[in-house]
Amino acid sequence: MLPPGWDALGKRSFASDAFDAVLHGREDYRPEDIAYFSGFRPPPGFLKTLPRLKAMFSLGAGVDGFLRDPDLPRLPLTRFVDPTLMHEMAQYVVMHILIAHRGQRAFDRAQHQGQWQQHMLQRASRDTRIGILGLGDIGAAIATSLLPFDFQLSGWSRSRKNLAGVKSFAGADELPPFLAQCDYCVCVLPLTDATRGILNAETFAQLPKGAWVINVARGGHLIENDLIAALDGGHLAGAVLDVFRSEPLPPESPIWKHPKITATPHIAGITDARAAFAYVADCVMRCESGRPLENVVDPTRGY
């Protein structure tokens, strides 16, 4: 079964003589005919109404949209791991770090005021430290994309990593020393009980003065009021946010007009429909032929 909002492309690439696909919310179906579900944020309680469901396939790299459901069936759940998505996420982060590092916003302002205003770089890239919270598929792709620019790179994860040119910090004990050396702190963690609200006042205080925060993970990682206080108080220099606690960002949110925040509407990595449906078809074929699924989520870990 495919989610609402996806056009017939997915249905055509997925349905065959052997299987049929239905678009939930757009087409009628009998719940007992559904063997597989694919989507991003199924309404809590919905999946338990499908009595013959065999497996669930997330159309996003994150699965918090599934695991928030207290009635989630105890069935295999996979997440979408796609090179194109990883490249897009990496492009987004590299672009925003370079814009901030090179002071490009000041040149934009000067141009619009008709001013020829030269500035020196505030800090060489070799003296600039970039830390990535979450060194999984996307975090590693971001780190690899940053390698040619000569920044000092590090990452924080649960398990120790061995990634060329990237210093590895692991586990809760190594979070404070990790934070203390981040001029740019990029969050690309999954949203779990252990990571919810991890970008908070205490975290920000541990970052060096003048640090930047870039959140491309989930809005639930960030305590937005703490971020605004750290920016207004001058401890943090700026923030780039792609995800928010409430999406779309409510009109009354101070984030919209904050001079030190760049906000984008959850577009850092957009799931490519063709790749997504090839993945769904592959998952179904694996299940039907008894082959193991890939990228199966561990519900106890939460990702």
DSSP string covering 137-154, please?
A: HHHHHHHHHHGGGT-EEE
Residue showing the smallest CB distance to ligand NAP in the complex: 136
Can residue 217 be called a binding residue for ligand NAP (CB under 6 A)?
yes
189 vs 222 by CB, closer to ligand NAP: 189
40 vs 46 by CB, closer to ligand NAP: 40
Can residue 269 be called a binding residue for ligand NAP (CB under 6 A)?
yes
Residue type, 108: D
Query: Is 96 annotated as catalytic?
Result: no
Torsions phi, psi for 283 (to 5 deg)? -60, -45
Tokens 């990237």 label which residue? 166
Beta bridge partners of 185: 131, 213
CB atoms within 10 A of CB 279: 23
Can residue 218 be called a binding residue for ligand NAP (CB under 6 A)?
yes
**Contacting range for ligand NAP; rule: CB under 6 A; set: 44-52, 109-117, 152-160, 205-213:** 152-160
Among 65, 73, 136, 220, binds ligand NAP (CB under 6 A): 136
Name the token pair of 149.
């620019």
Query: Is 291 annotated as catalytic?
Result: no
DSSP string covering 187-244, please?
A: E-----TTTTT-BSHHHHHHSPTTEEEEE-S-GGGB-HHHHHHHHHTTSEEEEEES--
* Window 30 to 89, contacts with ligand NAP (CB under 6 A): 61-62, 85, 89
Helix (H, G, I), strand (E, B) or coil at 133: strand
Q: Report the C-alpha gap between 285 and 68 in whole angstroms.
A: 27
Can residue 191 be called a binding residue for ligand NAP (CB under 6 A)?
yes
217 vs 223 by CB, closer to ligand NAP: 217
Among 90, 143, 189, 239, binds ligand NAP (CB under 6 A): 189
* 196 contacts: CB under 8 Å, gap ≥ 6: 220, 221
Q: Report the C-alpha gap between 95 and 88 in whole angstroms.
A: 10
15 vs 165 by CB, closer to ligand NAP: 165
- Which residue out of 158, 196, 266, 286 is catalytically annotated? 266
Length of the chain in residues, anyone?
303
Of 215, 267, 216, the C-alpha closest to 236 is 215
Minimum CB separation of residue 33 from ligand NAP in Å reads 31
Minimum CB separation of residue 271 from ligand NAP in Å reads 8
Among 73, 190, 220, 238, binds ligand NAP (CB under 6 A): 190
50 vs 218 by CB, closer to ligand NAP: 218
User: Which residues are known to be catalytic?
Assistant: 218, 266
Sites of contact with ligand NAP (CB under 6 A): 61-62, 85, 89, 134-139, 156-159, 188-192, 194-195, 216-218, 242-243, 266, 268-269, 303
